[in-house]
Structure 1
Amino acid sequence: MRYERTLYPPIEPYETGMLDVGDGHVIYWERCGSPGAKPVVFLHGGPGAGCSAKQRQQFDPDLYDILLFDQRGCGRSTPLACLENNTTWDIVADMERLRELCGHRKWQVFGGSWGSTLGLAYAQTHPDRVSELILRGIFLSRQSELDWLTKFGASEFYPDGWDAFAGAIPEAERTDLMSAYHRRLTDDDAGVQEAAAAAWNRWECQTLTLQPDEAMVEECATGANSVANARIEAHYFLHSCFLEESQLLKNAERLKDIPCVIVQGRHDCCTPPAAAWALKQAWPEAELQIVADGGHLFTEPGITDGLICASDRFAGKNC
C-alpha cells in the first residue's frame, strides 16, 4: 500500500534539562519544536527503552511544543537501570512535575506500546490535564498480553526465535520464563545480566516489524541501553505493570470526553490488535484505525501515516 505522510525532518531540542523527582531519580527531558505552540508530551515504550531523536519527527515542529523525557532508569536519566521506586504511578507523578515545569495547563499525550499503557494511566488519573490522546500499539498489561510474549502466542509465529529465547534458560526453569529472566537480569554479575538482556531483547524485537529487520534486532539485543531495557521491562512485567487486571478497561469511562486516535497494526505481533479492539469497545468515542499492512513500530509506513495525520489534525492542519 502507498502512504503520503512521512516523518518530519530531523530537529534538535531548543532546551534540555535534568529534573530531580526524588526517590534517588533524576529525569532527563528535552523540548523541541516551537516554544509556546501546541503542547504535547511523548511517552516512549519498553518499559525501559528511552527516547530517540527520530521520535521527535512525529510532530510538525512549527505547530507543536514537544516534550520528550527518558523515564526512570532509562536512557539519560539516572541512575540507569534502577528498579527501586520505579512504578507506573511514579512515572505518572513525574509527568505532572514535567507539565508544571513547562507551565502547561493541558497537553496532548502521545504514546506507543508501553507508552500507550502509561498514557492511558495518566489520562485516567488526570483527565482534566489531557487535551487529546494519540496511541499506537495498545498494551493494556492484562495477563493474557503478558503471557502472549512470555508463555504462548508470539511463539506460534516465531518458533525459531522462541526456541532461542526459551533455550537460554535451563529446562527446569522454563515453566516460568519471566521469573527466570528477572532473576538473571537482577543478578549481581554484570555478565549474567548482559547475556539475559541480549536473549530477552532479541526475542521481543523479532516481533516488532512486519518485515524482518536484523540490524534493528541486533541493536536491541546488544546496544548501549539493552540491559536497562530488559531489566526494567522484566521488573514491570513481573508486577503486571503495577496495574490491576483490566484496570485500564474498567476505568475507560474517565476518558470519554478526551478526543483520541488509536493507530494499530493489523499484524502487530508484539501487542496484538485484540487489546486495541477491547479498548474501543470500552471507549466507543475513541477513533480506532487498524493499519492493514502494519506491524508494531512507528517507523512502518502505514503506522507513520496514521500517527502524522492524527498529530497534524489535532494541531488544526489538514490531513
Structure 2
Amino acid sequence: MLYPDIQPNQTYQLDVGDGHSIYIEESGNPTGYPVVYCHGGPGGSTSGFFRRFFDPNYYRIVLFDQRGCGQSTPSLSLTNNTTAHLLADIEHIRKHLSIKKMVLAGGSWGTTLALLYAQQYPQHVSAMLLRGIFLAREQDLKWLYEPDGAARLFPDYYQEFIRAANLADDEPITHQQLAASYLAQLTSSNQFSQIAAAKHWCNWENRISVLHHLESRENVDDMHANKTMALMECHYFTQASFIEENQILQNMDKLQNIPATIIHGRYDAVCDVSQAWQLAEKWQNSRLYIVPNSGHSLGEPFMAEAFLNAANKIARFLQENTN
C-alpha cells in the first residue's frame, strides 16, 4: 500500500538561469535522507502520486518540473532546453538544497536523466531507483515510433498515429519524419492543428503504456499537458535527445560503485524490456526486477508495488549503512 498523500512542506520557483525557473517541492522529513525524483517525458510533470512511494518519516522527498514543463516557467519554452540544461538544473537543485549525497530516482525519460546525471556526478549519488528504462538510442526510438516495433502489437492505434502525421504516401515512416511532422504542427500558427496534433501524439503513448486497457488514458482532456508532452518529446527526439548515440551504456564504468534497483514491466511496449536487461548486464552493482503482468505505467498495481518495496528496501539499507 502506498504511503498516504501528504502536502509539501514547501514549494517554490528556483531561478536556474537562461531565462528559466524550475518548480520544486519538498515533502516528508526535512532532515531525512534526500531522494530526488526525475519525472518522465520529455514533457511530463511532477505529481503528488510520486511522493507516495517514499517513506515520509525517513526521506526528504524532492520533486521538480523540468524546463518548460508543469509549473516551471516559461511554460512550453524550447529555448535553452536540452539534456545538458536539464542535467545542469539537477546539479543546481542539489547545490541549492545543500545535498551532499542523494538517492536518485526516476521513471522512463526520468531514468535517462538520472543515469546521465549519475555518470557526470557519481560522487553525489548514493543509490538509484529506476523504473521503465529508456536509453534514448536510435533503436529505442525506432521501437517506439516505427512500423517494426510497438506498432506490430498495436497496428490499429499506430494507424491513427501515423495518419495524423500527414506524411506523403511515398514517404518512409521513420521516427525522425514522424517527430518532425508533428513538431511542425505543434509549432504552427493554427491552434486547432496544435491541439489535434498534441492529442494524437499523446494518445499513441498513453494507449500502449498499460498492459490492461484503461479508457481514461485515452483522449486526455488536459490540452496543456498534452501539448507540453508532445512538444517536448518532438523537440528532443528530432535532436536524438541531445546526447551521443549509446552514450549511457558506453559510460557504465562510472556507475559501478553506485547500487541500483532497476524495475521494468515484462510487457512494457513503450520501452521494451531489453533496454533494462542490457543496462543491468553492464552494471554489476544493480539488481533487475522484471515485473510480471505489467506494462510501462507506474500506475499499474504490480509496478507500483515493486517500486514501493524497492524504495523501502533502499531506506533500510541506508539506515544500516549511513552514520
**TM-score tier after normalising by the smaller chain length:** over 0.9
1:102 and 2:97 equivalent?
yes
Q: Show structure 1 runs of 4+ deviating over 4 A.
A: none
Which SS does the other structure have where 1:145 is aligned?
helix
Q: Is the 8 A contact 1:139 1:145 kept in 2?
A: yes
User: Superposition pairs for residues 119-134 of structure 1, below 5 Å?
Assistant: 119-134=114-129
1:10 and 2:5 equivalent?
yes
Partners of 1:170 and 1:315 in 2: CA distance: 49
Displacement after TM superposition at 1:190 (Å): 2.5
Displacement after TM superposition at 1:68 (Å): 0.3
> TM-score if structure 2 supplies the norm length?
0.94
Which SS does the other structure have where 1:134 is aligned?
strand
- Tell me the amino acid that sits aligned with residue 160 of structure 2: A
**What is aligned with 1:44?**
39
**What is aligned with 2:310?**
310
- Tell me the amino acid that sits aligned with residue 258 of structure 1: I
User: Superposition pairs for residues 12-91 of structure 1, below 5 Å?
Assistant: 12-91=7-86
1:193 and 2:188 equivalent?
no
Displacement after TM superposition at 1:202 (Å): 0.5
**What is aligned with 2:273?**
273
Match for residue 156 of structure 1 among 152, 155, 177: 152
Partners of 2:201 and 2:228 in 1: CA distance: 12
Displacement after TM superposition at 1:174 (Å): 6.0
Q: Is the 8 A contact 1:185 1:192 kept in 2?
A: yes
**What is aligned with 1:297?**
297
Partners of 1:174 and 1:74 in 2: CA distance: 31
Which SS does the other structure have where 2:15 is aligned?
strand
Unpaired segments of 5 or more residues in structure 2?
A: none
**What is aligned with 1:141?**
136
Q: Is the 8 A contact 1:264 1:276 kept in 2?
A: yes
Partners of 1:17 and 1:118 in 2: CA distance: 22
Partners of 1:174 and 1:7 in 2: CA distance: 45
**What is aligned with 2:210?**
209
**What is aligned with 2:238?**
238
- Tell me the amino acid that sits aligned with residue 158 of structure 2: W
Partners of 2:247 and 2:144 in 1: CA distance: 20
Partners of 1:303 and 1:282 in 2: CA distance: 23
Displacement after TM superposition at 1:241 (Å): 1.0
**What CA deviation, in whole Å up to 9, does each residue of 1:270-305 have, x standing for no partner?**
001010011112213211000111111112122112
**What is aligned with 1:178?**
179
Displacement after TM superposition at 1:113 (Å): 0.2
Partners of 2:39 and 2:51 in 1: CA distance: 11
Partners of 2:66 and 2:222 in 1: CA distance: 20
Partners of 2:283 and 2:163 in 1: CA distance: 40
Displacement after TM superposition at 1:218 (Å): 2.3
Partners of 2:55 and 2:172 in 1: CA distance: 47
Q: Is the 8 A contact 1:16 1:30 kept in 2?
A: yes
**What CA deviation, in whole Å up to 9, does each residue of 1:183-207 have, x standing for no partner?**
1122233222211110000011111
- Tell me the amino acid that sits aligned with residue 279 of structure 2: L
**What is aligned with 2:252?**
252
1:286 and 2:282 equivalent?
no
CA distance 1:178–1:224, change in 2 (3 Å):
closer
Q: Is the 8 A contact 1:131 1:259 kept in 2?
A: yes
Q: Is the 8 A contact 1:174 1:180 kept in 2?
A: no
- Tell me the amino acid that sits aligned with residue 195 of structure 1: A
Displacement after TM superposition at 1:222 (Å): 4.2
Which SS does the other structure have where 2:218 is aligned?
helix
Partners of 1:135 and 1:150 in 2: CA distance: 23
- Tell me the amino acid that sits aligned with residue 185 of structure 1: L
- Tell me the amino acid that sits aligned with residue 161 of structure 2: F
Q: Is the 8 A contact 1:198 1:222 kept in 2?
A: no
- Could you tell me the percent identity over the aligned residues? 42
Q: Is the 8 A contact 2:203 2:218 kept in 1?
A: yes
Q: Is the 8 A contact 2:195 2:227 kept in 1?
A: yes
Q: Is the 8 A contact 2:3 2:52 kept in 1?
A: yes
Which SS does the other structure have where 1:267 is aligned?
coil
Q: Is the 8 A contact 1:184 1:196 kept in 2?
A: yes
Superposed CA RMSD in Å reads: 1.4
Displacement after TM superposition at 1:224 (Å): 3.2
Which SS does the other structure have where 1:268 is aligned?
coil
**What is aligned with 1:3?**
none
The count of residues paired between Structure 1 and Structure 2 equals 312
- Tell me the amino acid that sits aligned with residue 154 of structure 1: A
